[in-house]
Chain A
């Protein structure tokens, strides 16, 4: 089945550092990928929709200059948390869906998530 790979799985770094997270679709092409953030005991909060070859669409309240998204190919989207601070510590998860049309009811497939801890 469809697989989404996300790296790194765990990051610990100092305040002010920029962190890049990669999301890859391994066996399908994903023109659209989604980035979520999840705080402990809370549900997924959509941050942005990443579109291949165009600008990402950010949800209300998400700073586009702080959370840079690049979707340069059909299998890779990256999220860069710039000048990270302790309040950015969270679990970041990407997802993608196979849009080839073979099965219009394909679910979203999630990466394993990245746990970001800013000291």
Chain B
């Protein structure tokens, strides 16, 4: 089966750093993706990891540990516009299959 877990909600202060965790148990693994979704809008791609370690992209970084089935998204220097839902998604091993999405974490950035 496929199971992905994320915290439901998180709150942080403008300028701070926040880490959003994602744990997964899937029948296969060929990459983990993070998406940002603002209310009423479609998800937008943020980052992906296919090998263990940290991938940095400006204020956003994503980490993966395949042996632990664990990833996190790190957001630095939080801005009000970062208030959104963050979706963790795993691509199963078989070519052509859909991504499996987690439930999403709603992040609220407070002034």
Contacts and interface: CB of A to CB of B under 8 A. Distances in A.
Interface residues of B, number: 22
Interface string A90-119: 010100000100000101111111010000
Interface stretch (B12-20, B63-71, B73-81, B93-101): B93-101
Contact of B104 (A6, A43, A91, A113): A43
A117 B42 CA distance: 17
Interface of B: 31, 33, 35, 40-45, 48, 50, 85, 87, 89, 96, 98-99, 101-104, 106
Interface in A11-48: 32, 34, 41-44, 46
Interface residues of A, number: 21
Interface of A: 6, 32, 34, 41-44, 46, 49, 91, 93, 99, 105, 107-113, 115
Contacts of A44: 43, 87, 101, 104
A105 B50 contact: yes
Which of the listed residues B41, B43, B102 has the most CB atoms from chain A within 10 Å of its own CB? B43
A109 B45 contact: yes
A108 B99 contact: yes
23 contacts: A42-B103, A43-B85, A43-B87, A43-B101, A43-B104, A44-B43, A44-B104, A46-B98, A46-B101, A91-B40, A105-B31, A107-B35, A107-B45, A108-B33, A108-B99, A110-B42, A110-B43, A110-B44, A111-B42, A112-B42, A113-B41, A113-B42, A115-B40
